[in-house]
Structure 1
Amino acid sequence: MPIQHPKPFHENFLPVVDGHAVYYAEYGQPRGNPVVVLHGGPGSGCSPTMLTWFDLAYDRVILFDQRGAGNSTPLGELGNNRTSDLVGDVERLRQHLGIARWRLVGGSWGATLALCYLGTHPKVVSGAVLRGVFLASEREIEWFFQTLQALAPQAWDQLTFGWTASQRSDVFHTLTAMFRSRTLKDCWDAAKRWGHYEESIMHAMAGRPLPPMGSAPERWLQKYRLQAHYLSNNCFVTERYLFRQARRAKDVPTIIVHGTHDWICPPMNVTRLARFLPRADVRWVEGGTHAASDPLIAAALRRAIADLR
């Protein structure tokens, strides 16, 4: 039988700004302790499975899809879609809902966005949980698309199958060039390669065999096109900027959850960030990977969120 997810007690779109209508939904208790979830990607959108991290008898959980992602419209729109725009949307959402202070939960790219928001609006955040820290650096892009082939050679060979030596030497540039070609065939090819590579890395981290190279879900085209837009611009931030934002948020109670076996966002990201968040509670998940669906990571997330109540 299909899983029955909780229904929102309220859902709507933020008033349109810059041509974007941003979707949000609220779950749990209307008068509960408010917490907003910042999804990863960029471009992934929220999922009802995120609700399993919370106690809906206590929490007021707000899921919202960032510009161009999930149920927000126009889907995949790149115009007026930068990190500063998303930070503005998070704050507009808080004000729109009449919330004085709330907690943040952000994973992967969502942790990056959470840092940007924390440093800009520290006084309205009562606590934050950052999972699978991503610092939006060229070092991490090089790691994921090039160096990681040493740990997942089959996945990387599948990603770069049929390419020239020059194309294989700079995978990310090759993929972004395919998206920019504007031919649907190239865009679909790039999305399929990228999506299957990401899935394969997730399987490899968990010690499972590589998934078959099937057809690409329709959502992948817009998701990875949007992700390429952000990553090719270093997500419109620098590591130095993120560290400055962390310093500004040093008094906000923060828990960092990171798997020791995270191949997507290297664990060294946490040690780099923690220097600027000296009061943060760093919780290493032994054997944990990058996926929030990883049982070890999910359990650590539930504990961290409960501890910030």
Structure 2
Amino acid sequence: MQTSTREFYPQIEPYNKGFMKVSEIHNLYYEEVGNPKGKPVVFLHGGPGGGVAPDHRRFFDPETYRIILFDQRGAGQSTPIAELRENTTWDLVSDIEKLRELLKIDKWVVFGGSWGSTLALTYAITHPERVKALILRGIFLCRPSEIKWFYQEGASQIFPDIWDEYLKPIPENERHDLVAAYHKRLIHENRDVRLEAAKAWSKWEAATSRLYMDPKAVDEFDDPDYALSFARIECHYFTNNAFFKTDNWILENISKIRHIPGYIVQGRYDVVCPAKSAWELHKAWPEAKFSIVADSGHAASEPGTRSALISAADECKSL
């Protein structure tokens, strides 16, 4: 993997976009960019609930790749926004397969960061025959210990000033279980209650996602729909253990994908998804190429992480 700083590929617009009905409730937005006859790669966004953005198209060489992006249930341009019904990890895995079949793709490279890495690994374990390679960033195995670190105690000791803002919507007598306290407010019948909780939850994550805080990334969550979809869906998944049968489901099933070419890219100072999870994934899957980025936090757009991801995608062009 290259060590020099790589810039994003140029901005590019979709050549195809549409909606795919996946249930009586949900319609998913999807788009294709790059080379219509190129090698298929699917981008899985984070959150869950984060949605895709224009820069997500730019990790991939548009002359080589047919780049597929979509908004997961309740996120981005998918409808209905922030909907929790029929919204589980297994619904999303099924949606990825439906999209692959709709687009008449046999196998594809799967790219995902943060929650996208959780979903990419889960999809690959469930459908290994459909995955050419996995490119993963900011590894999140969605285990109770990881949720506790970021939303209860751990990251709070690194960002105590920002943590106080996260605590504000929650009375002291409920702070022993902050995820449960937030969940109660994020599903509250009063929109103002939901929105106050959604903004505090989302801004905590945005403020801690980079080595150097980006105020613009925090301010994005002033948008009510974005904050509500992000916070409600995340908290819904975390309250339900990401709908996994066991606390360590991904590592317990990693043997099913060890034959698949893999790339693991992890920021050394990632506070949202600490490097411990990436290291444990690396030990369980030593065949995958493993890269610690010395000067990055959690965000995919940080220079070192961006460079490593673009280089990994370039390496996969030969598959």
- Which of the five TM-score ranges fits, normalised by the shorter chain? over 0.9
**Secondary structure of 1:61 counterpart:** strand
Contact 1:5 1:48 in 2 (8 A): yes
* Correspondence for 2:7: none
- 2:251 corresponds in structure 1 to 243
Verify: 1:44 aligned to 2:73, yes or no: no
CA-based RMSD of the aligned residues comes to: 2.0
1:120 matches 2:126: yes
Partner of 2:186: 179
Q: Secondary structure at the match of 1:129?
A: strand
Match of 2:4 in 1: none
Q: Superposed, which structure 2 residues align to 1:52-201 within 5 Å?
A: 52-145=58-151, 146-161=153-168, 163-201=170-208
Percent of aligned pairs with the same amino acid: 36
Deviation at 1:210, TM superposition (A): 10
Select the structure with the greater relative contact order (CA < 8 A; seq sep ≥ 6): 2
Q: 1:278 to 1:221 in 2, by over 3 A?
A: same
Q: Which amino acid aligns with 1:277?
A: W
Who is 2:292 aligned against? 284
Tell me the alpha carbon deviations over residues 241-284 of structure 1, each in whole angstroms, 9 at most, x when there is no partner.
21233210110000000010100001000122223312111111
Q: Are the structure 2 counterparts of residues 50 and 210 from structure 1 closer, same or farther at C-alpha, using a change threshold of 3 Å?
A: closer
Change (3 A) 1:32 1:208: closer
Aligned-pair CA distance for 1:88: 0.5
CA contact (8 A) 1:118 1:246 kept: no
Q: CA deviation at 1:52?
A: 1.7
Letter in 2 for 1:125: V
Structure 2 stretches of 5 or more lacking a match? 1-9
Q: How many residues align?
A: 305
Q: 1:211 Cα shift?
A: 8.6
Is the CA contact (8 Å cut-off) linking 1:45 and 1:70 kept in structure 2?
yes
Counterpart residue type for residue 148 of structure 2: E
Contact 2:159 2:208 in 1 (8 A): yes
Distance across 2 between alignment mates of 1:180 and 1:129 = 34
**Higher mean displacement: 7-16 or 247-256:** 7-16
Matched, 1:266 2:251: no
**Do 1:35 and 1:105's aligned partners in 2 also have CA atoms closer than 8 Å?**
yes
1:50-71 Cα shifts (integer Å, max 9, x gaps): 1221111111100011111111
For residues 160-211 of structure 1, what are the alpha-carbon distances to aligned partners after superposition, in whole Å with 9 as ceiling and x for unaligned?
Answer: 13643323332222211111322112101101111221222135x3266899
Decide which moves more: 48-57 or 156-165.
Answer: 156-165
Q: Which whole-Å CA distance do the structure 2 matches of 1:144 and 1:119 have between them?
A: 26
Q: How far does residue 124 in structure 1 lie from its aligned partner after superposition? A: 1.4
Whether the 8 Å CA contact 1:120–1:245 is kept in 2: the answer is: no
Answer yes or no: is the 8 Å Cα contact 2:169–2:196 preserved in 1. no
CA distance in 2, matches of 1:56, 1:131: 21
Does the Cα contact within 8 Å between 1:200 and 1:210 map onto a contact in 2? Answer: no
TM-score, normalised to structure 1's length?
0.93
The farther-off stretch of 143-152 and 209-218 is 209-218
- With over 3 angstroms needed to count, the CA separation of the structure-2 counterparts of 1:169 and 1:244, relative to structure 1, is closer
CA distance in 1, matches of 2:104, 2:169: 54
Change (3 A) 1:306 1:223: same
Cα distance in 2 for residues equivalent to 1:38 and 1:57: 21
Q: Partners in 1 of 2:79 and 2:214 — Cα distance?
A: 36
Amino acid at match of 1:169: H
Task: Letter of the 1:268 partner, please give it.
Answer: K
- TM (norm. structure 2) is 0.90
